[in-house]
Chains A and B, each alone.
Chain A
Amino acid sequence: MYRYIISRILLVFPTLIGAAALVFLLMRLVPGDICLVRLGSGGTSFTQQALATCHAEIGIDRPWILQFFDFIWGMARLDFGKSMWSGKPVIMEIATRFPISLEVAIMATIIAVVIAIPLGTISALKQNTWIDLVVRTFSIAGLATPAFWLGIVSILIVLDVTQAVFGHPWMPPIDYVPLWQDPIRNLSIVMLPALTIGYRYAAVSMRMTRSAMLEVLREDYIRTARAKGLVRRLIINRHALKNALLPVVTVIGIEFAFLLGGLVVTEQVFNLNGIGRLMVLSVQNQDYTLTQALVMVVVTIAVLSNLVVDLFYAWLDPRIRLA
C-alpha cells in the first residue's frame, strides 16, 4: 500500500514534465510565431529587420532546448515568466482574469445544484411517471445543446424581448465590475453565462442524482424503514438523500474541474474577460509563455485531482490496499 502511494505521488513529476514537453512542442510546431501576428495582422507591411528585432527581443530565436530548459526551470521556481504579447508577468495576466471566471463557475455550480438535486430526487421518486419523463427530457436536452448556441440564442432573445416590451433593447453591461463594488451590475453580467453553463452542469448532476437515488431507494434498509412505517419524507431526507449524495458530490466536484472547457466557448460568446478567453487569445496570438502557463495550470489541477481520487479508491479497494 505505501509503496503504491509513494510511487503514485512520485509519478506526478514526470507526468507534469511530459505535459510541459507536449505543450512546448505543439506550440512551436505550429507555423508562424507571435512576432508575425503582432506585426502583420493589421494588413500593413513591415520590414524584415523589424521581425528579426522582435524575435531577438522575445527570445524565440534561441535553440529550442534552451527555451525548454528556461520554461521547466521557471516552473520549478513557480516563475511563469512574462507573456510574449504584452510583456507583463503571466501571473498578473491570469490573476486579472481569474475572478470573473471563478464567479461564473461558482454561480453555475449553485444554479446546477439548486436545479439538479430537487429535480433529480423528484424524478427518482416518481420514476417512470410523466414527471420523470419531463425531467429526463429536460436533462438530456441540456446535454445535447451546444453551449455557445444556447448563449447566442439567449442574448438574442433578451435583446428582442426587451425591445418588444420596453421599446429599448437591453444587453448586459460589457465592462466587468467586481461583486462587492456593484452587485447588481456584476450579477447582470454573469447571470446569462452562468445559466448557459449551469444548464449543462445541472443536466449531468440531475442524471447522477436520479440514478444514485434510485440505487439507494432499492436498498434493503430503505425497505426496512418503510416497513417500519416511517414517514416518507423522513426516509428521504434522513436516509436516502444522505447516502445518495456521496456520488452526486463526487460528480459535481469532478465536473467543476472540467468547467474550464465550457468556459472557453461561453466566454467567447458573451465576451467575458476571463481565463477561457485568455486561453483562446494566447493560442491565437501564439504567445508561448502564456499558453504554456495556462496549460500547465489546467494539467496540474487535473493531475492532482486524479491523484487524490486514485489514492482514495486505493484506500477503499482492499485488493489494491493489500497488494
Chain B
Amino acid sequence: MRTGFRLGAVVVSVLLAIAVPASASEMPKRGGTLTYMIPADAPPSFDGHQEGTFAMLHATAPFYSTLIRVNPENPSSPTDFVCDLCTEVPQPAGEGDTYIFKLRQGVKFHDGTPLTAADVAASWNKIISPPEGVLSPRSNWFMMVDKVEAPDPSTVVFRLKFATSAFLPALADPFAFIYKKETLDRDPQWYKKNILGSGPFKFVAYETGQSITGVRNPDYYHPGLPYLDGFTGIFADKQATRLDAIRSDRAAAEFRGLPPSARDELTGALGDRIVAQESDWNCGSMVIINHKRKPFDDVRVRRALTLAIDRWQGAPALSKIANIRTVGGIVFPGSPLAATKEELQQIAGFWPDIEKSRAEARRLLKEAGAEGLSFELLNRNVDQPYKYVGTWLVDQWSKVGLNVTQRVVPTGPLLEAQRSGNFAVNSGANCHGVVNPLLDIQFFLPASVGIANYGQYEDEKEVALYNRMLRETDPSKQRALMREFEKYVVDTEAHQLWVAWWYRIIPHRSYLKGWKISPSHFINQDLATVWLDK
C-alpha cells in the first residue's frame, strides 16, 4: 500500500511536470504605453531610405513595414528571416538569380489606401537607384540587383545580375520602409518630414528634439498585434539622463546598449525590477591605417601594429568598463562564415602567445627602421567605447616601444580628417544592421570600388578575391575563400586592423516583455511584439 502510494505520487508528479509547460512564456497582456529613451538628438529626417542613424530608426520603425525582416522571435540568428509583408520567403529561382515574392492581401496604409506590389517595387527602386537629389547611402549593398518589378498587384520580382547569398540578408534591411508609390511619384522627398506607413503603430505627434508618439494601428495585418496601446520615444543624448530615467521608472528601456557599469548600477539599485539582456553586437572596433603616410606604407610596420595588441587579455579586461567583449575575426562571431578559435589563432594579432607576438612585432619594426616610432592616434570624442579602446591601444603599442599620443576631435572634424587623409592611424568602429558578413566586410575594399575607405590603398588581388567569394554559391567553398580573404586583409597585408567585437547590454524594466535582443541596434525595433506586464 505504501509503495503503491509512493509510486502513485511519483507518477502524478511526473505527469504534472510534463503537463506544466517547461518554457517561461506567459500570455501577453494587451494595453499600456511604452516609454523608452532614444540615445541621440533629433534625427535629420524621417526618411529611412536616406538616413543611416539608429536614432531615426528607433523613432520611426514602429510606423512602417518592410518586405522581409529578421525573425523577431529569434533575432540573434543571422540566417532566420521571415516575412513581414510577403507570405513566404522564396527560394531563389532561375539560376539562383530571381526572387519572386507574393504579398499579403488586405494590407492598408494608415490613411486607408491599400498597399500593393507597385508600392513595394517603387520603394525598392528608390533605394537601389535613387532619383536625382535623393540620397541612398546603402545603394551599394544592392549592386547585385538588376531589376525590381511588380508584374501584378500581389507579386514582386527581384532579378539579380548574379546569384549570391548576400542578397537576402541585405533585403532584410530595417531601413527599407515601404512607402506609397503615389506619394513617391509626386514628391520623393515627402517622407523626410512626414510619416505615413503601414506598420503596427500610427503616427501621433513629434515634439521637435524631444519626443515622438504613436498609437496602435487597429488594422494591422499581423493578427492580435500590436499588444501596446501606444508608445513614446524620448530623445536624450546624455547617458546619465537615460540611466536615471530607467532607474526612476520614467522610461522602461533604451534600445541601443548601455555600458557594463550602467547595468551593474541598475541591477544593484533595483534588483529584480531590472532584466539585462546581452548579446554580441554587429559592431566592432578597428584601426584604419593611412597607407599614404610614411612609414605606414611598409607592410611590416602595419603588421607590427597588429601583432603588438594583446586581444585575448585585453578584451575581457575592457569588457568590465566598455561595450567590448568578444575576440573574433572579421566575420560576426556565430555566423557560419566566422573563423573558429583555432583558425583565428593562426592570424597575426590573434596568436595565443603574446610575448612571441610582440617579439615578432619588435623585429619587424627594427627591420623596417621604425623602432621607437612616434605617431598620433586619431580618435572620436566619445567615451563608449572609442576612448577606452584608444587609451588601451596606446598602452598596448607602448609595449613594443611605440610612442603614441591620442588626438581626440569632435565628429565633424574627425570625418573630415579621415576623408582628406589628414591622419596617420585612426581608431574607429564599423557598425552594421542585419548580420551579412559578405557585405559587412566591404569596408576593407579599396575606395576605388566606391566605398568610403580612408586607408588610401589599392589592391586588385583583394578585390578579385572578394568578387569570387561574393559569387560563390557553395557554402563550404565560400567559407574557405573567406578564410583566405580574412588572412589577406588583416595579416598578410594588414590593410586595416580588426580589434574586437562590441557587446550589447540592454538593461530594461522587468515589466517590459516580448522584446528579444539581437546583434544589432538597428533591427527589431517595430515594437509589435512588445507587451507590458503590469
Contact = CB atoms under 8 A, between A and B. Distances in A.
Whether A and B touch directly in their complex, counting CB atoms under 8 A apart, is answered as: yes
B45 interface: yes
Contacts of A86: 42, 44-45, 208
A36 B415 contact: yes
B193 A53 contact: no
A169 B248 contact: yes
B135 interface: yes
Contact of A159 (B52, B53, B238, B244): B244
B210 A32 contact: no
A92 B232 CA distance: 22
Contacts of A32: 411-417
A7 interface: no
Given A37-B412, A174-B234, A97 B192 contact: no
Contact of B211 (A155, A163, A175): A175
Interface string B237-248: 110110011011
B412 A88 contact: no
Contacts of B450: 47-48
Interface string A56-74: 1100000000000000000
Contacts of A45: 137, 430, 442-443, 451-453
Given A174-B236, A284-B411, A40 B417 contact: no
Of the four ranges (under 10, 10 to 19, 20 to 34, 35 or more), the interface on chain B belongs to: 35 or more
Contacts, number: 155
Interface in B451-497: 451-453
Contacts of B395: none
Interface in A267-287: 268, 270-271, 273, 277-278, 281, 284-286
Contacts of B11: none
Given A33-B416, A45-B442, A174-B245, A271 B236 contact: yes
Contact of A174 (B52, B251, B411): B251
A174 B269 contact: no
A42 B411 contact: no
Contacts of B134: 53
Interface in B425-444: 428-432, 442-443
Given A32-B414, A87-B193, A44 B209 contact: no
Contacts of B244: 155, 159, 169, 171
Interface string A23-42: 00000001111101111111
Given A43-B429, A278-B209, A36 B416 contact: yes
A93 interface: yes
A171 B248 contact: yes
Contacts of B360: none
B208 A93 contact: yes
A95 to B, nearest CB: 10
Nearest to B241: A271
Nearest to A41: B411
A312 interface: no
Nearest to B140: A47
A176 B411 CA distance: 28
Nearest to A46: B137
A168 B451 CA distance: 50
A37 B411 contact: yes
B97 interface: no
Interface string B190-224: 00110000000000000111110000000000000
A175 B195 CA distance: 22
A319 B501 CA distance: 74
Given A42-B53, A53-B134, A54-B135, A175 B234 contact: yes
A271 B429 contact: no
Contact of B137 (A47, A85, A159, A168): A47
B341 interface: no
B209 A57 contact: no
A294 B5 CA distance: 85
B133 A42 contact: no
A159 B245 CA distance: 11
Interface string B46-66: 000001111000000000000
B53 A31 contact: no
A53 B133 contact: yes
Interface string B310-341: 00000000000000000000000000000000
Contacts of B211: 175
Given A169-B248, A174-B241, A273-B209, A47 B139 contact: yes
Q: Place the interface of chain A in its size category.
A: 35 or more
B410 interface: yes
A118 interface: no
B399 interface: no
A115 B496 CA distance: 60
Given A32-B415, A169-B248, A170-B248, A43 B283 contact: yes
Contacts of B229: none
Contact of A284 (B209, B412, B451): B412
Contacts of A30: 412-413
Given A45-B443, A45-B452, A47-B140, A159 B241 contact: no
B154 interface: no
B376 interface: no
A18 interface: no
A36 B210 contact: no
A48 B422 CA distance: 18
A31 B416 CA distance: 6
Contacts of A34: 412
Interface string B62-82: 000000000000000000000
A171 B415 contact: no
A96 interface: yes
Interface in B18-62: 41-42, 44-45, 51-54
A143 B207 CA distance: 35
A1 interface: no
A96 B250 contact: no
A152 B241 CA distance: 10
B407 interface: no
B439 to A, nearest CB: 10
B209 A41 contact: no
A173 interface: yes
Contact of B415 (A40, A88, A281): A40
B267 interface: no
A36 B269 CA distance: 40
A50 interface: yes
Nearest to A268: B238
Contacts of A159: 244, 247-248
Contacts of B52: 39, 42, 44, 46
A318 to B, nearest CB: 52
Contact of B412 (A31, A42, A97): A31
Given A53-B130, A155-B240, A270-B241, 12 more contacts: A32-B416, A42-B52, A46-B52, A49-B139, A53-B133, A54-B135, A85-B42, A86-B208, A169-B247, A176-B207, A271-B236, A284-B410
Interface of A: 30-34, 36-50, 53-54, 56-57, 85-88, 92-93, 96-97, 152, 155, 159, 163, 168-171, 173-176, 268, 270-271, 273, 277-278, 281, 284-286
12 contacts: A31-B417, A32-B411, A41-B53, A44-B52, A47-B452, A57-B133, A85-B42, A86-B42, A86-B208, A88-B193, A96-B208, A175-B211
Which are the 3 A-B pairs with shortest beta-carbon distances? Answer: A32-B412, A32-B416, A43-B431
